[in-house]
Amino acid sequence: PAVRPVFITEKRPDEVGHSVGTSGMLQGLQGLPLALPMVLLAVSGAILHLCQRVTRAQPTDQLMAMATMTGDRLSAAAPAQTTNRVTVTPGDHVLRLAIDPSHFDGFYDSWHASFPEGSSIYNYSALDREPRATIDAVDSSFIHTMRWLPPEVMKEVLRMPFDDEGPAAILISGLPLDLDVPPTPLIDTLHRVGDAWDEKRVPIAESLLFGISRALGIPYAPAQTNPIGRGLIRDMAPVSDVVSSCSSDLRMHSDYPRLVTTRHSEPEFLVLFAVRGDRTHQARTQIVNSRKLMDAMDPDDRRLLRSCKIQAALPGQGNLGAAFYPISTDGATGQPHLTMINKTDETRFTSPDGGAAAVAAYDRLNQLAYALADPVDLQPGQCLIMNNTRLIHARSAFAPIGDGEDRWIIKTFVSSDVWRRPGTGKPGETWYPRLLV
């Protein structure tokens, strides 16, 4: 995919929040001939009522346990919960948050006031020697996005990097989109390293992608050998003259799995924003919670894939990274960690210490993942957040036409911490202040 190479550093803007005032209620109660306990009861009840209007309670363990598997991996026993602004639908693999369109009344006036013509969101680029435009684009996007996302949504996003029991993926629907969306780019004609970017592109979508990503951590660009594959925002779109590039499934995998790539850190999050969906609804992102997948495995397969490495290779091109244990133990948490590499029709797998039995177990793991997967049909105004360390994902094949109306997803990677600390293995000093390495 093509990219817009950029650099990003960390800068914390002031928090933007919502408050509930009670002084009016207290003044209204003054002088009433009520006993003090009755006054306190009335005040607390009123405050509780208002608080319930601006925030929702977290799903209870009992509710989450009721989320039994169905055909679309949503639970018939765990119905959607609706507040004034957001419909919340729990799931085994994806938490769905649908924002009511009326919540964004006035958004476009606010956005254009915050990002007048000439703002950095229109022209940020890592090719600049001075990165202030990029810093401003991300920070300004974060501040504006926080003003507009409902608290129900922000609570889920903010707890996602730290709550091991929380959702592995969140799908946010109902987000605003640029009113004048250009044709879907052919990715060999845009964002090439060394080119000037004259296209206005989709600045509103990009600002929302930046804002949500910055709430999760630091948007960054993993290292790539191909210079066109480096950048903060990537276009997931058909390749010019190679429309068949989307006609094959992208098999179950995580991005930059640390046991395979070895040289690069594993991004904690992948954030995708749909500018234009697949009109045929064939392209679906298949999402599987790794923990639930491992729990559903045959115990013998689980033991085998803990003790035997798998090596992926492409005929004529050699090995795809290092041999890896599909199931390992996370050194930081002590929890089981699942590793799967992108499997295509051409990929070949061997096991240096487990032979055909280990390869067969790995194939069964892949089949089980598809059986459990929750399919997401990304359509305009939807943002999909995936915890890359807690899930695996795939994408089904689709047939682009090349008429400017094909599927177009913009994507970025997020790290919770780019600085080197004991056990993180993240070479922050080599990334800062330019995250393109």
pLDDT by residue (tens digit) across 123-167?
776 544 456 777 889 999 999 999 999 999 999 999 999 888 889
The C-alpha R_g of the chain, in whole angstroms, comes to 23
Least confident of 52-66, 74-88, 265-279, 398-412: 52-66
In a domain, 49, yes or no: no
pLDDT of residue 235: 83
In a domain, 175, yes or no: yes
pLDDT of residue 76: 39
pLDDT of residue 21: 34
Q: For residue 341, how many C-alpha atoms fall within 13 Å in the half-sphere facing its CB?
A: 27
239-245 long-range contacts (CB < 8 A, ≥24 apart) are 239/186, 239/187, 239/188, 240/186, 240/187, 240/188, 240/189, 240/402, 241/188, 243/399, 243/400, 243/401, 243/402
CA separation (Å) from 326 to 127, 259, 277, 359? 38, 9, 32, 11
> What residues have CB less than 8 Å from 63, skipping those under 6 apart?
78, 90
Mean pLDDT of 103-107: 98
pLDDT of residue 401: 80
Least confident of 239-248, 341-350, 386-395: 239-248
Domain tally for the chain?
1
In a domain, 54, yes or no: no
pLDDT at 335 over 90: no
Mean pLDDT of 29-52: 40
pLDDT of residue 337: 93
> What residues have CB less than 8 Å from 372, skipping those under 6 apart?
69, 73, 92, 93, 288, 292, 293, 296
pLDDT of residue 427: 53
pLDDT at 71 over 50: no
In a domain, 21, yes or no: no
In a domain, 37, yes or no: no
Q: For residue 1, how many C-alpha atoms fall within 13 Å in the half-sphere facing its CB?
A: 18
Structure tokens at 275: 């500018």
Which residues constitute the domain of residue 154? Answer: 2-11+63-431
Instruction: Specify the 3-state DSSP secondary structure of 289.
Output: strand
Chain-centroid distance, C-alpha 401: 27
Work out the widest C-alpha separation in the chain, in whole angstroms. 89
Full DSSP string of 72-111 = TSB-SSS--EE-SSEEEE-BSS-EEEEE-GGGGTTHHHHH
Q: Per-residue confidence at 49, pLDDT binned at 50, 70, 90?
A: very low
Q: What is the CATH number of the domain that holds 275?
A: 3.60.130.10
Full DSSP string of 46-68 = HHHHHHHHH--PPPPHHHHHT--
Predicted TM-score of the model (pTM): 0.77
In a domain, 436, yes or no: no
Q: How far apart are CA 307 and CA 297, in angstroms?
A: 15
pLDDT at 6 over 60: no
pLDDT of residue 246: 58
pLDDT in tens, 337-379: 999 987 677 889 999 999 999 999 999 999 999 999 999 999 9
Please report, as a single letter, which amino acid is at residue 249: D
In a domain, 390, yes or no: yes
In a domain, 28, yes or no: no
Structure tokens at 45: 């009840």
